[in-house]
Structure formats: C-alpha cells, structure tokens
Amino acid sequence: MKKIILVLVLVFIMAIPFLGFSDTGTLSTPYSIQPTEAASIDWDFNLGTNANMVTGRHRWKAADGSVIYLPNSARNGWISWTLKNYQIDSIPETSNRDCTGFETPAACCIDVNIGSCDDMEYIENTDCIAAGDPSPCCTNENTGVCTGWSDTALFDCGSSACDDYILGVGLRTLIMIQWKRVYCPDCTITF
C-alpha cells in the first residue's frame, strides 16, 4: 500500500511542471496599439480584354521592407482586387420568363416571357449599402469597386489583339487612380 501511495505522489509531483495557466488580466489604463505604417506598396495588375476588367493585387510594406499582413491579406500579404463596371438586374424579383401577359405579374412585362424585367443597369459605388449589398462589388456603405471604369473603350482591342500590348503611362495612371478610390484615396504614390 505504501508503494502505491509513493507512486501516486511521484506521479503528481512530476505532473506539476506540465500544468498550464490562463486567465484574462484587465489593464489599469487602455493601451493604444497602432498598426505598422506602410512606406511602400507592391502593385501589379492584368488587363482582362475578354471580361472587360482589370484584375490585380497589392501588398503593403513597412519602411524596413517587411510585408504588412492585414486581415484580408492572402499568401505573402497580397490583397487581390478587380476593377470593372458592375451591373445588376434592375428588377431582381421578376424575370422575363415569369411574364404571363401585359404588366403581369409586374409592370416590366410586355407579353408571355417578354419584358424588360431582366434589363441590367450599372451600379455606382454610391449605391452600396454594405459589404456585398446589393452587389459583391460593394466593400462598405457608399464604397466599392463597382465603377472601376467609366471608359470601356480601353478594351476595344478584343480577346487576343491585346496580347503583348505594352501598357502606356496613361493607362497605368488610370488604373492607379481607380484603385486609389477604394484602397488609398488620400495616398500619393510614385513609381
């Protein structure tokens, strides 16, 4: 019996260094934690002639060159984005195939399966109510990437005619201006 008690005591003593402790402490005064300030940005993009959009990515860097990781950062700190003119169904609750007659079941109906119910309209960034509402291009209230372009003629070269196309300073500047509207409106960026 004494041997059993001795073994149990030894087991208990040996287990003490492996015990853990956790708790929450309250600070006497609030402590302000500031994010790292970005000194530079890595930025690249691709001109999408088929989809009439620009896709790209950026990542912020501190003064020492280290990557700043944000909650929406992906691998290696990259944040992906798309610039295009987004459209939404003007009457999302009714489709042309729902039409059974003139103005039935909605005023957009002209005849059976015919109407203006499926017409698409451009959504402005100011139309955004919240992130993803009413379109995935919305990032916040009155903010988004819904109107990345006002001049779709930039993409008139077609699906393959833009291959090996060298982007001029004007187009790069336009892309940067549209990107800044969402991600860094007060920034001055030099390359």
Bridge partner list, 138:
144
pTM, two decimals, is 0.53
Q: What is the DSSP letter of 97?
A: G
- Separation in Å, CA 31 to CA 26, 27, 28, 144, 150: 11, 8, 9, 32, 45
Read off the pLDDT of residues 116-155 as tens digits, 9 standing for 90 and up: 998 888 888 889 999 888 888 888 898 887 876 654 444 4
Mean pLDDT (whole number) for 6-18:
51
CB 43 within 8 A of CB 58: yes
Least confident range of 4-13, 15-24, 48-57: 15-24
Bridge partner list, 67:
61
Nearest to 80 by CA among 60, 55, 52: 55
Give the domain ranges of the chain: 36-85+145-185
Mean pLDDT (whole number) for 43-70:
78
